Amino acid sequence: MPAATLASVPIAITSIELRRLAGLFVPAAIFVAAIPLAGVYVASALYIFAVLAIPRQQSVPRALGMAAATALALYIVFERMFQVSLPHGALAAAFGF
């Protein structure tokens, strides 16, 4: 495209779409940042709870159950079945786990 016509191109993303996009990436970035502190299991449970309960997609008890089930499933699959230790985080080290 010539440079003169680029100014006439409509905006590619609206503010609503940008908010939805941020709603996906901001929690994911917080999740990744929380792994060294809280560990994969706690961070994943908090992430699942936040993604389900905060935008009111699920009820709080159901979101808590899904978060706990996710952390438990991760533990069983990686720690027990594959025998791969995922990061436990600084909190687990502080409590002696």
**For the packed helices 15-38 and 40-53, what is the interaxial angle rounded to 10 degrees?**
150
Give the C-alpha separation, 62 to 92, whole Å. Answer: 26
**Are 86 and 39 contacting, i.e. CB atoms less than 8 angstroms apart?**
yes
**Are 49 and 67 contacting, i.e. CB atoms less than 8 angstroms apart?**
yes
pLDDT tens series, the chain, 97 aa? 555 566 666 777 888 999 888 888 998 999 999 999 999 999 999 999 998 988 888 899 999 999 999 999 999 999 999 999 999 999 988 988 7
